[in-house]
Amino acid sequence: AVSGKVRSKLEDNVQEHWKEHIVVVKGKTLDSYPDLDLGKGKDDRKKPYFYLVDKTGKIVWHTSGNYSKAKQQEIENKLHELI
């Protein structure tokens, strides 16, 4: 399934110290996260969304789109800004 592919890419490409901070959520479990703006259309639900959440659970940054090295760099840059 798609989440398996995402997990595999993350495992292969994400630096070890970030891995414990990553959660992959898919399918019906998305309904458990009403604060996430995941789009309402069918196509919106197919694209990946990336969120950075602070220690209190507040979403402090997000982006969407296919995973790439550039997307990883964007996320890492934002993480460094926040910590």
Residue 29: per-residue pLDDT: 59
Give yes or no for residue 72 having a pLDDT over 80.
Answer: yes
Q: What's the pLDDT tens digit per position in 37-65?
A: 655 555 566 677 788 887 787 888 888 88
Global pTM reads: 0.58
Residue 6: per-residue pLDDT: 73
Q: What is the 3-state secondary structure (H, E, C) of the chain?
A: CHHHHHHHHHHHHCCHHHHCCCCCCCHHHHHHCCCCCCCCCHHHHHCCEEEEECCCCCEEEEEECCCCHHHHHHHHHHHHHHC
